[in-house]
Chain A
Amino acid sequence: MARDLALLIPEIVVLLTAVSALVAEMLRLPRIALMATLAGLLLATGLTVPLLGADTQVFSGTFRIDMLSVWAKLILLPATVLSVLLARSELGGSDREGTVYSLICLVTLGALVLAGAGDGMLLVLGLLLSGLGSFALVAYPGTETATEAAMKFFVFASVTGAVMIFGLTYWYGGTGSTLLGDLSRLDTAPVVAATGLVAVIVGLGYKASLVPFHFWAPDAYEGAPVSIAAYLSVVPKIGAILALTQVVRDLPVATGWTLVVAVVSALTMSYGYLAALVQDNMIRLLAYSSIAQAGYFLLGVVATAASPLAFESIVVFAAAYVAMNLGAFAVVMGIGRTLSAFSGLGRSHPALGVAMVVFLLSLVGIPPLAGFVGKFLLFGASIDAGFTWLTVVAILNSVLSLAVYLRVVVPIYRPRSDTVASPLAPTVLINVVWIIALLFTLGIGLAAQLLLGQLH
């Protein structure tokens, strides 16, 4: 018991951080809440470092301390810190500011629970924990659009969550256990395995915004504060994808899950970028882009059964995705929500313009940026696993994605038209976030070994 708790210290610290932020808010001390949140998250990150290389389970196999869950902490906790900084910049001074930080911590905790889930019940728990907090965060401004977005989000989540719980009962029936580790027993019961699989893809697919369970994402991102959209597009999404990885790694390949996930992956990439191609609202464009990126993650998930590259490709791409996506959202926060706001950015804010171009090219996967290393490993893993056709689809989508992102790059270097209002001036916090994101986008690309060496 003591050993189990000791291994869970990072999660416990995050929980305590959420509580202390809430207490500070009750005392009407939002600054203290902010400080406590940042300190708590950084402390939890630091406490995760000694766990590197661990591969064990706690509480009778229900929670896994393995490469995926440890790296989930090392990636998602700093991502949460950056999101909190963005939220402070956008929502600072509003009523109940401290609750935002508390909720963000709880949602992150939910994502971490998902990433290490070793049991069907923990999947449900993680999904609910990250879901409930997310609805409140989306609805936080209290405006009509925010409320509507949160409502849509909530209804969608309730239905898909219910479907997942229903499907998990099949697995329980088939294996006599809720442990994911026992899923390997399902190779004699293909119907049961398939029913559960579909249900789990519905539940986690909604959270990761996989096609066809993505409808909520653009609306929720658009209605929510930009910083919350940035956060939702990164932390809960990666949590859900890692949870899916935890599930399928124990599923017998004979159930055909690889093909199902591969098809979802192809649909998600293609639909996401096709839809992004026609957006004029930057938030919606990035929302569809983040849907498509989720499809790329699945290339690694598909390969978990057959390729030793799979886990590291998912982790590296997750780190890259956090840096480039948060960076792009931070620039949007600083400049404006419409595509036209970016017109002439390269001349009015040269550094910011270059940074945005770097984030977008990294999202395409142009070397030597972070996104390239991630996608390269993902492609390698899926070819290694025999899914060359899926890699070809991914590659074609990369070309499509270039068309999407160039729609933003082109106006950045166009001379400013006077009719457009001058862009907002980014705040200090936004500048801090995009600079950190830029350093990581370049750093993960050029010094990938620092990350890969740890993973091996």
Chain B
Amino acid sequence: MPPIVSLTLFLPLLGALLVMTLGKAPVRRVHAIGIVTSALTLAGALGMWARGVNETGFAQIEELDWMPAIGAAYRVGVDGISLPLVLMSTLLFFVTFIFSAKVRERPRAYVVLMLLLETASIGAFTALDAILFYVFFEVSLVSMYFMIAGWGHEDRQRAALMFFLYTLLGSLPLLLAILGLYLGSEPHSFDMRVWIGSPQLEGTAATLALIAMLFTFAVKTPVFPFHTWLPAAHVQAPAAGSVILAGVMLKFGTYGLVRFALQMTPEAFRDAGIVILGFGVVSALYGAFAALAQSDLKRLIAYTSVNHMGYIIVGVAIAALSLDPAIRATALDGSVLQMVSHGLVTGALFFLVGMLQDRAGTREMDRFGGLLKQVPMLGWSFVLAAFASLGLPGLAHFPAEFQIFLATLRVEPVAVIVILGIVITAGLYLKAIGRVFIDEPRKQWKTMGDLSLREVLTLGPLLILIVAVGIAPAWVLDIIHKTTAALQL
């Protein structure tokens, strides 16, 4: 059997090397390589999907000696938590490359960085070795830094700097935790499966490791009050960068929360469950209220990310607190599905705002009006994505959030106050849709054109999947549930 996971993982890197060796190639060819490479990568992810996951543990494992002297190896594989994220990420990268075909400014460097970012993202989700995970985690930071600094908006240097410093500060405690787990394991090994199978640390050491990991993933997710880097980075990042940042990279935080914090220090996580739940609730509500106050569309969507990520934190905390395996599985199913849904929905929304900005040069809600008539396809796409984002039944977020709330009601009914977030996001999206697409049309946008073929191809797959996941979530949930149902904590 061909090593599909490794192929999928390193295809983008090969594409990046190919682009680097091209020299002065025409812009079209550079973008074509990006699109073809990411399409092949997506095909690889579909191949992984076809192979599926195991009832317990990890599937499709591929191993190679790397640093046997210290117990680090190249180990990759997937389970029901990581596989949907890999598929969602490769899809987002694919449509991002289609969307980015318009980039004329240093296209080679752009495509190389994007492909590097894709390898880093797939790597972070598939790594089964802590060092390998950390390597991919950090490489994604570096690529995103150059992405924002190179192709962002007006104040990009400062935003890029803040992003890099803040998230590096965030990720280094993880290194401490990894070292702690490594030194606690006997014989010393960086194999994440060993750490998950039998917790290596106990008592204070486990608590300290958990605190370090929580800090890292709270910054990455981001959780209130560690979220301040996010709006700044999103506002300055190019549209494609925002899509990847929100759609893929924020998931490193929530994925890490489950994979590392929950699975490697389960006892300590359970003890801290109420606190983590509190952070999740506050974060979800804060994100919703902060989004309500925004007039810049991109900032608004950035803050709704804080809100949606808050639900995931709530779901994971509930899973830890619950003693009933069935409820735990429900909470985790919801959380993992929420990660996927958020990638699709927020990806689509950031693309749409980027398209608006390409046309109008602004993202201020009040400068628009009546666009639904002027650009119906763009308008209705936005309406669909916005409705999905506020959790309308039949669209992608609903089955995820429903399961999270259901489990919350059974375990910590008080925390269900978080549902208030849905009401607020509904209000703010309706307000945004009204201002931008329904109010009095403005003369200055008379010449605005509707979606081009490139943009339709970008949005199409995302919108179709938003509906598909919303109406029939079973095809994703089945894979997720296989792992969450058997999860030993």
Binds B, one of A11-19, A152-160, A265-273, A448-456: A448-456
Interface size on B, residues (CB 8 A): 30
Residues in chain A near residue B179, CB distance under 8 A: 376, 379-380, 383, 391
Cβ-neighbour of A449 out of B65, B157, B180 (below 8 A): B65
Tell whether B172 is near chain A: CB-to-CB under 8 Å.
Answer: yes
Tell whether A384 is near chain B: CB-to-CB under 8 Å.
Answer: yes
Contact yes or no, A366 B183, CB < 8 A: no
Contact yes or no, A379 B175, CB < 8 A: yes
Tell whether B176 is near chain A: CB-to-CB under 8 Å.
Answer: yes
Known A-B contacts A376-B175, A380-B183, A391-B176; the reply to A399 vs B168 at CB < 8 A is: yes
Binds A, one of B81-89, B131-139, B273-281, B450-458: B131-139
Tell whether A23 is near chain B: CB-to-CB under 8 Å.
Answer: no
Known A-B contacts A380-B179, A453-B69; the reply to A366 vs B142 at CB < 8 A is: yes
Residues in chain A near residue B2, CB distance under 8 A: none
Known A-B contacts A367-B135, A449-B67; the reply to A399 vs B172 at CB < 8 A is: yes
Binds B, one of A197-205, A214-222, A322-330, A402-410: A402-410
Contact yes or no, A368 B146, CB < 8 A: no
Contact yes or no, B138 A366, CB < 8 A: yes
Contact yes or no, B175 A395, CB < 8 A: yes
Contact yes or no, B142 A361, CB < 8 A: yes
Tell whether A398 is near chain B: CB-to-CB under 8 Å.
Answer: yes
- Interface code B54-92, partner A: CB below 8 Å = 1, 0 otherwise? 000000000001111110000000000000000000000
Known A-B contacts A380-B183, A452-B69; the reply to A402 vs B164 at CB < 8 A is: yes
Instruction: Say how far B299's CB is from chain A's closest CB, in angstroms.
Output: 24
Instruction: Say how far B140's CB is from chain A's closest CB, in angstroms.
Output: 11
Q: Which residues in window 154-182 of B have CB below 8 A to A?
A: 157, 161, 164-165, 168-169, 172-173, 175-176, 179-180, 182
Contact yes or no, B149 A452, CB < 8 A: no
Contact yes or no, B69 A395, CB < 8 A: no
Complex-state Cα separation, A12 to B66, whole angstroms: 37
Complex-state Cα separation, A284 to B66, whole angstroms: 38
Tell whether B199 is near chain A: CB-to-CB under 8 Å.
Answer: no
Instruction: Say how far B122's CB is from chain A's closest CB, in angstroms.
Output: 15
Instruction: Say how far B186's CB is from chain A's closest CB, in angstroms.
Output: 13
Complex-state Cα separation, A452 to B182, whole angstroms: 17
Residues in chain B near residue A312, CB distance under 8 A: 69
Contact yes or no, B135 A368, CB < 8 A: yes
Instruction: Say how far A416's CB is from chain B's closest CB, in angstroms.
Output: 14
Complex-state Cα separation, A379 to B150, whole angstroms: 33
Tell whether A170 is near chain B: CB-to-CB under 8 Å.
Answer: no
Cβ-neighbour of B134 out of A367, A383, A391, A456 (below 8 A): A367
Instruction: Say how far B120's CB is from chain A's closest CB, in angstroms.
Output: 10
Cβ-neighbour of B146 out of A380, A413, A448, A455 (below 8 A): A413
Known A-B contacts A367-B139, A410-B149; the reply to A384 vs B176 at CB < 8 A is: no
Q: Which residues in window 340-369 of A have CB below 8 A to B?
A: 361, 364, 366-368
Complex-state Cα separation, A186 to B35, whole angstroms: 69
Residues in chain A near residue B183, CB distance under 8 A: 380, 383-384
Question: Which residues on A are within 8 Å of B, measured CB to CB?
Answer: 312, 361, 364, 366-368, 372, 376-377, 379-380, 383-384, 388, 391-392, 395-396, 398-399, 402-403, 406, 410, 413, 448-449, 452-453, 455-456
Q: What are 8 A-B residue pairs whose CB atoms fall within 8 Å in the complex? A: A372-B138, A376-B131, A379-B175, A391-B176, A396-B169, A402-B168, A403-B165, A410-B157
Given contacts A368-B139, A406-B161, A449-B66, 12 further A-B contacts (CB under 8 A): A367-B131, A368-B135, A376-B131, A379-B176, A383-B183, A391-B176, A396-B169, A406-B165, A410-B149, A410-B161, A413-B149, A449-B68
**Which 8 pairs show the lowest CB-CB distances between chains A and B?**
A452-B69, A367-B135, A395-B172, A399-B169, A449-B67, A368-B135, A456-B69, A380-B179
